[in-house]
Amino acid sequence: MTDRRRSVAAAADGFMRAFTVDDLIAAARAHSPGIGVATVYRAVASMEDAGALERVGSRDGSALYVRCSVEEHHHHLVCTACGAVAHTPCPLGAPASDAAHEGFVVTSHQVTLYGLCAACATTGPEGG
């Protein structure tokens, strides 16, 4: 774990919302001014591999990520208005046992729920 990687991880920790790699670069530069984009992209890739980061879609052609500190397998609720993220348990009881598709071996799956967080649903966008 290098100094740069620590900066990126800390920057990711700072977000309460979904963020882009650009967001991450800007945040990481607060503590590591000279950090390069390639380094951040590399850190993102390794954090994604490690499960510390998960991609939850994209916005204007940029990938959107959320920080996951939870170890167990889980999924996400992403507010499309303010970007707030909640981590939610996996709702799929036994996806591999779907009788209609016998023989299909599920190795991974991705569930993302989009909508409005409580704050945005009540006070409107930018309200949270």
Partner DNA sequence: TCCAAAATGAGAATCATTATCACAAGTAGA
Partner DNA sequence: TCTACTTGTGATAATGATTCTCATTTTGGA
- Under 8 Å CB-to-CB from 39, ≥6 apart: which residues? 4, 8
DSSP label at 79? E
87: contact with Mn ion by CB under 5 A: yes
Closest by CA to 85, choosing from 114, 123, 48, is 114
**52, 53, 79, 85: which one contacts Zn ion (CB under 5 A)?**
79
**41, 59, 109, 123: which one contacts a second copy (CB under 8 A)?**
109
49: contact with DNA by CB under 7 A: no
CA distance 10 to 4: 10
44: contact with a second copy by CB under 8 A: no
84: contact with Zn ion by CB under 5 A: yes
80: contact with DNA by CB under 7 A: no
With CB under 5 A, what is the number of residues at the site for Mn ion?
2
CB 93 within 8 A of CB 47: no
16: contact with a second copy by CB under 8 A: no
